[in-house]
Structure 1
């Protein structure tokens, strides 16, 4: 009789296979590790690779230089280092622009400290009338494109040295000297008018955090005012002052529009315009060395700022009560002080805007008897070759506006989503090395001046490298570079937003069976919509008036509003260039106002009492 035996169970899968299946099931519900690896690869290629490429170009001989260097293209060489630092033209290529950059930076810092610091003290520590209005009005200059002030300066002071239509004073028979029309003085003044809001905001916020009781206690103990300022106020203000100084220097280092507009007629070069000229001359190796120098200076500036902040952490006041904000009584000087603040607002906002507006409405500069709308609406302009009609006629302005809205808009959306995903991986991820890499590399573009990062990106994407085709001249490259350069702000915002969001909502959804994408779409993104909106709108506003980043990456088919205005300056069409800048300023100011209303915030919140 046959005996039926029970079939033996199948043998368990090997341990390695079971671990792999378990990890796949985990990744299916929580793919944070995979997302982190993808973000690491993307940032490594878009942030780190351009810097590596530009350093490689600095030490590899480029085509066309083999005769001078005595080597073959592609070979390792120190020719470009010698040319920039030791050759007979090194003064023109590097040392003179470096000295000019230092002069402009120092002058701009002093201007911004005097104006911004003085206004911050007046608004936060005195009983000047209209404090709230002054607090909002004095940050408006930063909402305007930086070269708005330089074009207004040219409209007023331009002489016949640069060709084209002369300025208002020259048209009235007053010969303006070259040192007043072009060069370091106008560059320092116009950049100072644009950047003093940085000092105003940083110093103003620091002054509000100083408890007035500390100063009162010192005076009660018999300390004179100079001792109070030296021993109490100054140490507490050092972090804000050092940050303001280094921030302004870093901005001036990478700015392009103002030194180009006001320095080019006098052949006054700084590092940013020297880099631009090297790229236009197709001196790739020289441009790579200059880019490396600008990057190193920018990184050193930020590291110095971080070191100073750590050093100044010992100047911290801790108390259980809120700080007392006692205002100094200006007495009879209250209204003169308000008048001074109003004059600074008029000089930094009203005068430049009105100057550009009247210039675009008159055939002879500021001569109201020659009022015309031709530069805005005319079908044809006599004598104009490259732009023979008003800005609202033809397709140039509309094409540039569409390119700006499309490119900047897409870059802003990518920037905001990427910033939130980086924040998600950094906060939720279980791999500390990946989190540290994303945190540091996403902040790296902040350390690099814009024009230097654009040059590095051009070095990487100008030619085909492996499976990646040449992207120069495409909108895709502009979108990528704009998104990456604004990533530091969105990534920090995303990290802060995700830190404030607990795990409970996601865990509850996961228990209910929601996969990772459903949790992101239905929980994380809706809860963080405020951070997403801010991460989109702020890069959008900044990108609309951006010139340093895009000036070397745009071509005829990808021209933006900012590059269109600079192109009109090159043609000598002053009124048309001024009109385009007014369009940019109007869009930028409107978007800034709508953003503040949407987010219920203000750049100067708290400064005006």
Structure 2
């Protein structure tokens, strides 16, 4: 009965909105038609936007995956100094809002007023070579703000739970550390690596904040920015936006099916009754490794945070060379304004509620998908992916139509409850897939041993499964909290003046050209995220000793 109810709820909140988007792509004045598809594919720049989308995503995933596996291995499996502090640095980088980080890097690499170019010119080396408004500028910001840190964040706990006997067996045959990491370690964590790659590709299709801000001056268009302008056009072209969304869905479905087939075909349990995790000494290489990883962490965290704070106090955003460039006016206007207080409250309610739902509901879904065999299991697993396969702007549009067309849901429109439900669905894919990866690593013999002495499933889950996956559950809660706090595309069409969160307020400030005011809002979003990360790390270390 529980599974039947769960399937019904998932169909209601995932399949029906997707069907509405598909229906919108086929709607015309005379009924169902392919006119929207023909018009969208014939649109100038569509092919170039499609090419930019996939090339940007591919390059980010290639660089981020290689670096992410290497850094996660150093933090989890070696004696690199300060591993816990360095790992926390990647946590902080994950939680930095995309819009906030983009503002910071504009201050650094703006081709005219950027700090790096100004410093380059001051050294007498000529005109500064850096330009954040470029193809590689987009790659740089996305790689450091999301791609690399989230891979390290997800892979480090998994590598820490990896049974070292597999690696020792490889080295006993004469294999080097590099060959062992490639042939043994990488393959054991392959399901989670594949999940992060698939989610990264999906993120490349739906992300529009960085691409919109940095790509517009350079005339670099991607699918998400084209979709966003289609929705925001006057009059809005919902049919064309739906076509772009359905096209993205059709592209990603084979990738998701391949990931699921690969995970089901292979066994990747690495935590068993004989589990042992040993640390590999680096010898003289530990300090060079520390310097490299520390430089990456500082570049991802301290530098953008410092530039963000500076930008919030600047009279004219980005102009360092003027006389008396600092002011408190932006802080005074934003904090004492009529919209900031309600927006802060709304963000806290949405973020805390999303985190609770992610840890409780999504952990149950992940456990069912890994440990139970039932009819509809494949369908449930696929429905978990559906919300992430649609760009946030169009998914938000689908829920607008959904909640307005279903009579008993109509009173929820314009409430925090609606934003909470939609935001939770938006983080469902990452949360469930991450928890599935952790549960998959647990050998079934541990639960079977508990059951053989008469323990019930609840006791077994609490005493056997939870102590092992507890840190991953906490990570999921933190990720859900920060994702809810900083999401914009999913909520921009659903929020109103009364339920507007901080992330939408920040986007409004940027749309009005008030970049310093947007930086002030970004500081508050940053404080929320880092504070939750610090608490989560504290409880995460306690969970390891349960």
TM-score bracket relative to the smaller structure: 0.7 to 0.9
Counterpart-to-counterpart distance in 2, 1:324 and 1:483 = 34
Partner of 2:461: none
Against the structure 1 CA distance between its residues 285 and 591, is the aligned structure 2 distance closer, same or farther, given a 3 Å change threshold? same
Partner of 1:104: 56
Task: Give structure 2 stretches of 5+ with no counterpart.
Answer: 459-469
8 Å Cα contact 1:60-1:76 kept in structure 2: yes
Counterpart-to-counterpart distance in 2, 1:286 and 1:57 = 9
Counterpart-to-counterpart distance in 1, 2:368 and 2:176 = 54
Corresponding residue SS for 2:337 = coil
**1:80 deviation in Å?**
1.1
**1:106 deviation in Å?**
1.7
The yes-or-no answer on 1:582 pairing with 2:537 is no
8 Å Cα contact 2:245-2:390 kept in structure 1: no
1:469-488 alpha-carbon deviations (Å, 9 max, x no partner): 49765545323312333445
Task: Give structure 1 stretches of 5+ with no counterpart.
Answer: 1-32, 62-72, 161-165, 378-389, 508-528
1:545-571 alpha-carbon deviations (Å, 9 max, x no partner): 222321332344432211111222222
Partner of 1:341: 293
The yes-or-no answer on 1:77 pairing with 2:44 is no
Counterpart-to-counterpart distance in 1, 2:353 and 2:273 = 47
Residue in structure 2 matching 1:370, options 325, 330, 335: 325
**1:342 deviation in Å?**
1.5
TM-score (norm 1): 0.71
Counterpart-to-counterpart distance in 2, 1:532 and 1:336 = 33
**1:271 deviation in Å?**
1.6
Against the structure 1 CA distance between its residues 490 and 570, is the aligned structure 2 distance closer, same or farther, given a 3 Å change threshold? closer
Against the structure 1 CA distance between its residues 75 and 391, is the aligned structure 2 distance closer, same or farther, given a 3 Å change threshold? same
1:428-459 alpha-carbon deviations (Å, 9 max, x no partner): 99x95477765654554355554443243234
Residue in structure 2 matching 1:294, options 242, 248, 262: 248
TM-score (norm 2): 0.78
Against the structure 1 CA distance between its residues 294 and 373, is the aligned structure 2 distance closer, same or farther, given a 3 Å change threshold? same
The yes-or-no answer on 1:563 pairing with 2:530 is no
**1:167 deviation in Å?**
3.9
1:355-401 alpha-carbon deviations (Å, 9 max, x no partner): 01011123254469433222212xxxxxxxxxxxx211211221221
Q: CA RMSD in A?
A: 4.4
The yes-or-no answer on 1:50 pairing with 2:3 is no
Against the structure 1 CA distance between its residues 432 and 125, is the aligned structure 2 distance closer, same or farther, given a 3 Å change threshold? closer
Counterpart-to-counterpart distance in 2, 1:557 and 1:116 = 41
Partner of 2:489: 548
Corresponding residue SS for 1:293 = helix
8 Å Cα contact 2:54-2:204 kept in structure 1: no
Against the structure 1 CA distance between its residues 178 and 566, is the aligned structure 2 distance closer, same or farther, given a 3 Å change threshold? farther
Against the structure 1 CA distance between its residues 200 and 576, is the aligned structure 2 distance closer, same or farther, given a 3 Å change threshold? same
Residue in structure 2 matching 1:215, options 164, 170, 185: 170
Counterpart-to-counterpart distance in 1, 2:495 and 2:370 = 37
Partner of 1:392: 335
Counterpart-to-counterpart distance in 2, 1:433 and 1:181 = 51
Partner of 1:404: 347
Query: Which is higher, the Rg of structure 1 or of structure 2?
Result: 1
Counterparts of 1:415-426 in structure 2, within 5 Å, are none
Counterpart-to-counterpart distance in 2, 1:600 and 1:124 = 14
Against the structure 1 CA distance between its residues 126 and 458, is the aligned structure 2 distance closer, same or farther, given a 3 Å change threshold? same
1:533-591 alpha-carbon deviations (Å, 9 max, x no partner): 99876533321122232133234443221111122222222211111111101111112
1:6-63 alpha-carbon deviations (Å, 9 max, x no partner): xxxxxxxxxxxxxxxxxxxxxxxxxxx4x766555443332111111111111111xx
1:310-350 alpha-carbon deviations (Å, 9 max, x no partner): 4554x88899854563524341x432322222111110000
8 Å Cα contact 1:361-1:372 kept in structure 2: yes
**1:184 deviation in Å?**
1.7
Residue in structure 2 matching 1:192, options 143, 148, 157: 143
Aligned length in residues: 512
Counterpart-to-counterpart distance in 2, 1:341 and 1:420 = 32
Partner of 2:462: none
Partner of 1:60: 27
Partner of 1:385: none
Counterpart-to-counterpart distance in 2, 1:146 and 1:205 = 24
